[in-house]
Structure 1
Amino acid sequence: MSTISSASSSTTTASRPTARNLGPKPQDNRIPVTPAVLRGIFASSRTPLEERSISRVAFFRFTGFLLSCLGIAWAAARGRGIKNSAALLGVV
């Protein structure tokens, strides 16, 4: 039994990386994928008219989201009997 355990321990020590064999990986030279890069890839497959249309739809959806958040906050504040905006923000 001692020969099996010594053999397995020698294989585990041999497979551990040392400071000598650590070097730069070839994958470190890749270009980072950022949202701007992804947007450029997708925008290049559309015409300027399609891009403008998609941008316009996204703007109106975002504006609608903000207005609905404000409306819900206003309705909640009105239901709680808050009279001024300072109380709505939690200042008073």
Structure 2
Amino acid sequence: MSTTSTASTPTVTASNYKAIPIQQPQPNPSRRFPVTPGVLRSIFASSRTVFEERSISRVAFFRFAGFLISCLAISLATSRGRSIKSGAALLGVV
């Protein structure tokens, strides 16, 4: 004896239709995109023209070179008054 069951499929009409909200995937904190200085620079660089970017880069280079030269000048000025013996005495060599 075999029993078969017939299942009827429900008819969807405007009165019994329920919209199921689509869930957005939640961001996984371990798979976040790392924010590096290069990423930030590319974001800001994309909003400038090539000439503006070149100008900003040139100004940044000359400021950095000025910083290095001033550090060198200050270190030379402070060591100018010292002789080799006094510098060695400060280090405790003599």
TM-score normalised over the length of structure 2: 0.58
**Could you list the runs of 5+ residues in structure 1 that have no partner in the other structure?**
1-24
Moved over 3 A (4+): none
Deviation at 1:80, TM superposition (A): 1.6
Q: Which moved more, 1:36-45 or 1:26-35?
A: 26-35
TM-score normalised over the length of structure 1: 0.59
1:80 counterpart = 2:85: no
Count the aligned residue pairs: 62
> 2:54 maps to what in 1?
52
Q: Which AA in structure 2 matches 1:76?
A: T
**Could you list the runs of 5+ residues in structure 2 that have no partner in the other structure?**
1-26
Deviation at 1:81, TM superposition (A): 2.9
For 1:1-92, list aligned pairs within 5 A.
26-82=28-84
Separation in structure 1 between the aligned mates of residue 47 and residue 84 of structure 2, nearest angstrom? 51
Separation in structure 2 between the aligned mates of residue 82 and residue 66 of structure 1, nearest angstrom? 24
- Higher share of residues assigned helix: 1
Compute the RMSD of aligned alpha carbons.
2.2
Post-superposition CA distance 1:6-25 (Å, at most 9, x none): xxxxxxxxxxxxxxxxxxx7
Identity, % of aligned positions: 69
**CA distance 1:71–1:82, change in 2 (3 Å):** farther
Separation in structure 2 between the aligned mates of residue 27 and residue 72 of structure 1, nearest angstrom? 47
Post-superposition CA distance 1:43-89 (Å, at most 9, x none): 00111100000000000000000001111111111122349xxx7xx
